[in-house]
Structure 1
Amino acid sequence: MSTTTAIGYENNLPATNDNALISREIAVPDLGPHDLLVEIKAVSVNPVDVKLRAGAPSDSFKVLGYDAAGTVQAIGTDVTLFSRGDEVFYAGSINRSGTNQRLHTVDERLVGRKPSTLSFAAAAALPLTAITAWEALFDRFGLTEESTGTLLVVGATGGVGSIMLQLAQALLPGVTVIATASDEERASWVRELGADHVINHRKDLVTQVVDMAPDGVDWLFTAHSDGQIETYAQIVRPFGQIVAIDDGPRDVSPLKDKSISWHWEFMFTRPLQQTTDMIEQHRLLNRVADLVNQNRLRTTMTESLSPISPETLRRAHQLVEGGRTLGKVVVHGW
């Protein structure tokens, strides 16, 4: 059985600790029928990586990483979507070994063609956030090119918000987008990505939103919902919809009087539950790649570190934990 170099954790330690992330040689698993073996060229660090490293049991050694770009080295017996040598990008599944390793196995139905106009590093910034934003807009909200109304993106400067703004600009011409940002640097960032209006979420959110949308917004996407339900109940119109990606509140009863719908978005649902439509993640990633190649969508990579090593990944975790990064932190090269 062949092995590969992997970076993960054994104990829940602060990112500043030298042992927070360590390197190990691990076995490369046998390929399942729909699996690809990918040589990893670049990865990015998401809040889920930080959360797991800080608090989830490792079961002796756990490899993190849920974004990657690389080259297909081998394919399973039933693979039809890719061939050896193909350049790919994907986010994989939270219930399999992570992408922070030289060789990684992933189900082909979760994988897209890497945008040909991007480097591996720039491409690795996109999959997890693009899948999340796409599923929120088109699966949870059910928006189409004919949709009209107002979308409020709370936490628009993060990885998901930075893609959502671009997708709305490219594919939802009838939707007016209000984005939240905490300072002028971040306000400039979200305007560049397609926000029609920008408000400061550190100020009175209700007053600012009602000034722009007196009847309330139609759709509200939030990366920071905990403790905000009373506020959201005031700024979403009757029969409006909310999508949250954080752990959020456990009581959404203030939304009942206006029949506001509450949705969770978790991009790992399809691979975790092995749903019959898993291939939709392959299809949407290919759509994202097409939009990038057409210059209608851009990478959200803002920090690029090298090489892929425990030291560099610890630095990336520190940046993400700081909560002040715009866009995505990518680590590339071995």
Structure 2
Amino acid sequence: MRRGGNEVNSVVGNDTVGLTDVPLANLVASGRDVLVQVKAISINPVDIKTTAHTAAAQIRGYDAAGIVVGVGPDVTKFKVNDRVFYAGTTTRNGSYADQQLVDERLVARAPALDFADLAALPLTWLTAAEILFEKLSYTPAPGANVGHTILVINGAGGVGSILTQLAHYVGLTVIATSSPRNFAWLKAHGVDHVVDYHQSLVSQVKQFGLTIDSSLNLIDTGQYFDELVELVRPFGHLVNITSTAQPIDIMKLQPKSLSFDWELMFTKSGYHDRMASQGQSLAWLADLLASGHIKSTRTQTIQAPITAATLKQAHADLRDHHMVGKLVVENTAHN
């Protein structure tokens, strides 16, 4: 869809009824909102899952990076022309648009990286940080957790690729699964010991001779459940971020007093609970990116306007491939 002048576009709908281009109404920031000109977005599996169950009139999308073009009267952290990045919320219109209103508490000032590199990170970073430092209570400081070991299922995906970097930075020993073709990627992103998911998980992990304090299952919650119960030490944690295709028997956790933990980074914004912690966490990420301790996980880029056609392509690319890292749409409208 070609646009000129001040015309701005948004994409509404879902993958069931179809994605549709709709001219975006004039947006004015109020309260604590900032108005952002969206320069890049990234596509997450949750985008596809939610669009299949979303009202046709809602704008989807979460991860974004861009430039502040307006601020509400109660905004204290940002000003016009600030470069920012954020993951947004499920309860408001999202980033599948040329412009977006977002609560300043969910936003951080961006370091001097490409917008495409920045857009790849917020949702997965927040998921990773909340797992490590809120669910598992590790210390968020360099090298502070030496002697503890985590097992990551699907280490080469979007969440895995940032989580392993962060875990390595804070001193954790990291074991992670992937296909052998992605072992080099794992090693380059903070993984100490690699595991081939085609082979026996238990036998491969046991050969490392390490005590597994926590498992982080970043795919189907039911997959590997029995193996993870066997591998994680007594009083350890099984952390999960996705639904399960089949029921799981949580009574299997009882003999070892294991904890079963859920992480959903949208809970804070959805229930207005500690929202400012997400902007603060992204500010820490900005510092780590600027210092080179963390690197972007962007691996694929579509350079095109944010339109229904572009997002249909992006959804298809994500759905049809075992994605390593993150897929980003770099918005070429109004450049």
* TM norm. shorter chain > 0.5: yes
The residue aligned with 2:308 is: 310
For the Cα contact (< 8 Å) 2:154–2:160, is it kept in 1?
yes
SS at match of 2:24: strand
1:5 corresponding residue in structure 2: 9
**Structure 1: gaps spanning 5 or more residues:** 14-19
In structure 2, which of residues 34, 43, 46 is the aligned counterpart of residue 45 of structure 1? 43
Residue type at the aligned position of 1:61:
A
Name the aligned partner's letter for residue 76 of structure 2: T
What's the counterpart of residue 76 of structure 1?
72
Gaps spanning 5+ residues in structure 2: where? 1-5
Q: For 2:60 and 2:300, how far apart are their aligned partners in 1?
A: 19
Distance 2:297 2:54 in 1: 31
Aligned match of 1:17: none
Name which of structure 1's ranges 103-112 and 4-13 shifts more when overlaid on structure 2: 4-13
| Structure 1 counterpart of 2:177 | 180
The answer to whether residue 194 in structure 2 is matched with residue 195 in structure 1 is no
Query: Aligned letter for 1:12?
Result: T
Q: Using the alignment, how far apart are the partners of 1:155 and 1:142 within structure 2?
A: 22
Matched, 1:325 2:323: yes
Residue pair 1:229, 1:252 contacting (<8 A) in 2 also? no
Q: Structure 1 residues 78, 250: closer, same or farther in 2, change over 3 A?
A: farther
1:121 partnered with 2:116: yes
Q: 1:28 to 1:219 in 2, by over 3 A?
A: farther
- Give the match for residue 143 of structure 1: 138
Q: One-letter code of the match for 2:243?
A: D
Q: Give, as a single letter, the amino acid of the residue that structure 1 aligns with 2:153.
A: V
* Alignment counterpart, residue 56 of structure 1, candidates 41, 53, 74: 53
The answer (yes or no) to whether the contact 2:8–2:23 under 8 Å persists in 1 is yes
1:154 corresponding residue in structure 2: 153
Q: Is the 8 A contact 2:240 2:262 kept in 1?
A: yes
**Contact 2:32–2:73 under 8 Å retained in 1:** yes
Kindly provide the CA deviation profile for residues 182-230 of structure 1, in whole angstroms up to 9, marking residues without a partner as x: 12x211101001100101122110111112145x410111112224321
What CA deviation, in whole Å up to 9, does each residue of 1:288-318 have, x standing for no partner? 0100000111110000101122222111111
Name the CA distance, whole Å, in 1 between partners of 2:77 and 2:325. Answer: 30
Q: Percent identity?
A: 37
Residues 181, 11 of structure 1: alpha-carbon distance in 2 compared, 3 angstrom cutoff: closer
Q: Could you tell me which residue of structure 2 aligns to residue 134 of structure 1?
A: 129
Q: Structure 1: how far apart are the matches of 2:77 and 2:106?
A: 11
What is the root-mean-square deviation in Å for CA atoms of aligned residues?
A: 1.7
Inter-partner Cα distance in structure 1 for 2:30 and 2:275? 15
How many Å apart are 1:30 and its aligned residue? Answer: 4.5
Work out whether 1:163 is the aligned partner of 2:167. no
Residue of structure 2 in register with 1:294 after alignment: 291
Q: 1:29 to 1:252 in 2, by over 3 A?
A: farther
TM-score (norm 2): 0.91
Answer with 310-319 or 284-293: which moved more. Answer: 310-319
Distance 2:254 2:222 in 1: 17
Aligned 8 A contact 2:154 2:217 in 1: yes
Per-residue deviation at 1:101? Answer: 0.5
TM-score, length-normalised on structure 1? 0.91
Give the count of matched residue pairs. Answer: 319
Is the alpha carbon distance of 1:196 and 1:95 closer, same or farther for their aligned partners in structure 2, counting shifts above 3 Å? same
Shift of the alpha carbon at 1:71?
0.5
TM-superposed deviation, 1:29: 4.8
Paired letter, 2:53 = A
